[in-house]
Amino acid sequence: MQPTLNHQMMGYDRSSTMFSPDGRLLQVEYAKKAVRQGTTSLGIVCKDGVLLLADKRILEKLMIGESIEKIFQVDDHIGASATGFLMDGRVLIERSQLIAQQHKVTYDHPIDILSLVKDIANLKQAYTQFGGARPFGVNLLVAGVDDEGPQLFLTDVTGIYFQYRAAAVGEMETQLKEILEKEYDENMNLEQVLKLAISAFKRAFGKDFDSDRLDGAYIKSSDKLFRRLDKEYLRKLSKKS
C-alpha cells in the first residue's frame, strides 16, 4: 500500500497542524498542488523597473473579462499577482493594502517591499500552525520599486518567501521558467521584458493563447508608480511577438 494512502487512512491529511510520520504537512502539500493548477502569473525585474503579467483564463464566452482581476495595486509603488484560489488572494491583497496604508500613516514614508512581504508570509505561516483553519491556497508575486530599486518576491503557501529576478507560477510554470532561464537578461528594459513575457506566454499556451486573457502592470524605477498595461497595446505586441 502506498505511504500517502496510509497517511490519508490514518487521518494525517485532515489537519494542517498534524505532521505525518515522515515529517510532512499534507494539507500544505495539497495547497501547493492547488497553486500549480491555478492561472499563470509571471514577474520580471529589469534595469528600469519591474513587470507583472498574468493569464486571466476566461472560461465562458459570455463572461466579461474586465471583471476578472489577476493583478492588484497594493500601494503607489507596489503591485501583486495571485495564483491559486483567488478568493484567498483577495483577502491577502486587502491585508497588504491595509499594512501599506498603516505604515505610510505611521511613518510618513512608503513601506519597503521586503517588510510587506514578511508580514504576508507570516500570516500565511500562521495558517499552517494553528488549528481551525486551512492554509491559504495561493501564491503571491509581489513586485515594486523602493529605495533598494526594483524588486520581485514570491510568497509560498507555507509562509516562505523568495526574491527573484524573474519568476513564474501556476499551470504553465515549468514551460515559462525554461524560457526565462534561457532568454532573460538583467540588462533588458521594460519594453524588452514585456516582449519576452508575451512571447513566453504565446509559446507556453500555443493555440490556446489569447491576448485578451492577459492582465499586466509595471512600475518604473524613475517614478515608482504602479501602472496597468493598456489592453490595446498588449494586443499589438502580441501580434508582433
The pLDDT of residue 226 is 97
**pLDDT at residue 12 in the model:** 65
Which of 74, 48, 86, 54 lies closest to 167, judged by CA?
A: 54
Provide the annotated active-site residues.
39
Q: Which residues of 72-97 are buried (b: 16+ CB within 10 A; e: fewer)?
A: bbbbebbbbbbbbbbebbeebbeebb
Q: Which ranges of the chain have pLDDT less than 70?
A: 1-12, 16, 65, 241
Given this model, what pLDDT does residue 1 score? 44
Measured CA to CA, the distance from residue 57 to residue 68 in angstroms comes to 9
Q: In what order do the strands lie in the sheet with 166-169?
A: 166-169, 41-46, 49-55, 214-220, 226-228
pLDDT of amino acid 177: 96
- For residue 8, the model assigns a pLDDT of 56
Query: What is the pTM for the complete model shown?
Result: 0.90
Q: How far is Cα 163 from Cα 211, in angstroms, rounded to an integer?
A: 28
Residues with Cβ within 8 Å of 229's Cβ and at least 6 positions away in sequence, in order, are: 53, 194, 214, 215, 216, 217, 218
Cα four-point dihedral sign 157, 71, 147, 108: negative
Task: Provide the H-helix boundaries in the chain.
Answer: 3-10, 26-36, 86-107, 113-126, 173-183, 190-205, 231-240
Q: Can you give 32-68 as a three-state secondary structure string?
A: HHHHHCCCCEEEEEECCEEEEEEECCCCCCCCCHHHC
* Residues 47/186, Cβ–Cβ less than 8 Å: yes
C-alpha 40/C-alpha 55 separation (Å) is 5
Q: What is the pLDDT of residues 33-92, one digit of tens each?
A: 989 999 999 999 999 999 999 998 877 777 776 778 899 999 999 999 999 999 999 999
Domains by residue range for the chain, with CATH: 24-57+67-240 (3.60.20.10)
